[in-house]
Amino acid sequence: MSHTEIETEGTGPKDFTLPEGCLVCGGDLPVRVTASGGAHAVCKQCGWFSRPVLTVKKSGLEVGYRSAMA
Ligand SMILES: [Zn+2]
């Protein structure tokens, strides 16, 4: 069982907005990172709910999506 924590304290925001991050309407997507290292986002415009997968890389924070949709 793997456990990954994102170190955001002092280094990055726990809330941020992905420009054009919504896959449905292409609007800005506010993302909230929870204390447990998970994340969720709800589009302000269309209400699309997603669980972005955050990956910390040397170049920065990479955001992906679980392929729940075909
Ligand atoms: Zn949307």
**Buried/exposed 32-66: b ≥16 CB within 10 Å, e otherwise:** ebeeeeebebebeeeebebebebeeeeeebebeee
Q: Which residue has the higher pLDDT, 67 or 22?
A: 22
Q: Which residue has the higher pLDDT, 43 or 69?
A: 43
The pLDDT assigned to 45 comes to 93
Distance 21 CA to ligand 1 centre (A): 8
Distance 20 CA to ligand 1 centre (A): 9
What does the alpha-carbon distance between residue 44 and residue 46 come to, in Å, rounded to a whole number? 6
Distance 49 CA to ligand 1 centre (A): 9
Distance 42 CA to ligand 1 centre (A): 8
The model's pLDDT over 12-36, given as tens digits with 9 standing for 90+, comes to 558 888 889 899 999 999 998 877 7
Backbone angles phi, psi at 67, to 5 degrees: -80, 70
Q: What's the burial of 20, exposed, middle or buried (CB within 10 Å: 0-12/13-18/19+)?
A: exposed
The model's pLDDT over 36-62, given as tens digits with 9 standing for 90+, comes to 767 889 999 999 998 888 787 888 878
Distance 31 CA to ligand 1 centre (A): 12
